Amino acid sequence: MKALVEQGAAPRDLAGDLASWERRLHTAAHPVAYPMIRGLGKFRPVVRLPGLGVLVSEASLVRQVLMDSSYSKSGAKASGALWTPVVGPRVLLNMHGAEHLELRRRLNGLFTPRAVEAIVAPAAERLRGRLAAGLDNGGSVEFVGLVKELSGGVISRLLGVRDDAPGRLPDTELFNLGTSITSLVRLGRPQLTVPQVAKAKSAVEILAGPVRHAYRGDDSSTFPGRLRTLGLSEDEAVGIVSAFVIAGTETLVSYVPRLTAMLFDGGRLPRLADDRRGLPDAVNEGLRYTAPSPMMLREATAAGRLGGVRIRPGDRILLSTVHAAKSLGGFDPATPIPAAARQLWFGAGAHFCIGMPLAMAEINCALTVLLDEYTRGPWHIRSRTVGRNVLIPHYRALELTRGN
């Protein structure tokens, strides 16, 4: 709170600016659906929406569904069905039951601290250099573009591509390949159309080339090489790498610039740059408040009741993590997150995100670079543009500068 006052603005004004920008991001992304779902969730934690499914917007009930095996991720109306035609049937995000648990067990060692460091560190160092070069001498830098490069650099490592490999695709182009797949998803459409599947498979085939090359090289220091060591087939390795790209591409580039803006708008940067002990709380609370995975889909496989609503087999279940999390209050890293909402954006139970350590490493590296640069010389946000009619709310551009 002291840092807010030292910046010369009342804490309430700064908090209001922070909340205002977050509202703009959501309404620009979903001008009709967001206000409608938000309004419904305020009065009824579970509601049946004709033509869409059963909307769940209360944290403990969202967690209850995620922990209950009778709500499937692989059903025809669940999220897994979107991706099976694109990446194949065995890539974790579209599996359920014993087969899913067995594959997950085999993959559990993929994201150890050492492995994550090897994947993220090269891209993080490029981010550090690009940010410093842009901000030095009163210049400016478009930060969203830099986070896309960071994401693309991580994708390159997942594909098994060396930084000095001839013909290596630029990091931003790799990011664009991933987002060209995720951008096809729409809440009101349970499956991709035939042309959309063809477009997504075309992007996956571009990603598949380097994966197959690394897999056949039998080098266990590469990510595809590690998948081969675990006994997965070449096609399974392609599908799993593609699934990690699909699951992680948009969320990182949505979240990191949004947290950056929230820390700036809330006046928290000076203190956090001086004392990094508050960084974990700021990151976790930022994930709670932004919920970068705003909606999860399941299909009911058994009859029952949820929040007073009758559930029928085959019902599409819409888990509104963003409303479940945002209903707990404004952005405040000093307030502990209730147990029901803790890490809800990564899922829960058997489908808790296996790539969470990688995502957290990317987030923490990016924030560390930003705060280091703030320590070298305070920067501020010169301008920003929100993304419109997009799946995950995000800034399309966020310009940082040390100048005027």
Q: Are 302 and 70 in contact (CB under 8 A)?
A: yes
Close Cβ partners of 84 (under 8 Å, ≥ 6 residues apart): 74, 94
What are the tokens at 237? 């390795």
pLDDT of residue 252: 86
pLDDT at position 10 is 34
User: Among candidates 316, 393, 251, which has minimal Cα distance to 81?
Assistant: 316
How high is the pLDDT of residue 41? 64
Residue 16 pLDDT:
64
DSSP code string of 77-88? TSTHHHHHHHH-
Whole-angstrom Cα distance, residue 69 to residue 296? 15
pLDDT on residue 365? 94
Q: What is the spatial distance between Cα 280 and Cα 170, in angstroms, rounded to a whole number?
A: 31
Give the integer Cα–Cα distance in Å for 266 and 156: 34
- Residue 255: half-sphere exposure toward Cβ, Cα within 13 Å: 29
CA 240 – CA 211 distance, rounded (Å):
10
C-alpha radius of gyration, the chain, whole number: 21
Cβ-contact 377, 134 below 8 angstroms:
no
Confidence (pLDDT) at 402? 92
Which helix (H) or strand (E) element contains residue 310?
Answer: strand 309-311
Of 356, 354, 345, the closest CA to residue 63 belongs to 345
Give the residue carrying structure tokens 């010389």: 377
Regions of the chain with pLDDT less than 70: 1-16, 41-42, 186-190
Residue 146: closest CA among 296, 390, 369, 376? 369
Q: What is the dihedral of CA 2, 402, 249, 205, to 10 degrees?
A: -170
Q: What is the spatial distance between Cα 62 and Cα 45, in angstroms, rounded to a whole number?
A: 10
Gap between the Cα atoms of 316 and 305, Å rounded: 14
92 in Cβ contact with 240 (< 8 Å): yes
The pLDDT of residue 357: 92
pTM of the model: 0.89
CB 256 within 8 A of CB 363: yes
CA–CA separation, 182 and 185 (whole Å): 6
* Amino acid at site 173: E
Nearest to 245 by CA among 85, 365, 92, 75: 92
Residue 15's pLDDT is what? 58
Contacts for 146 with CB less than 8 Å, ≥ 6 apart: 127, 130, 131, 134
Cα–Cα distance for residue pair 67/77, rounded to 1 Å: 18
Distance of CA 235 to the CA centre of its chain: 25
What domains lie within the chain, and their CATH numbers?
Answer: 2-401 (1.10.630.10)
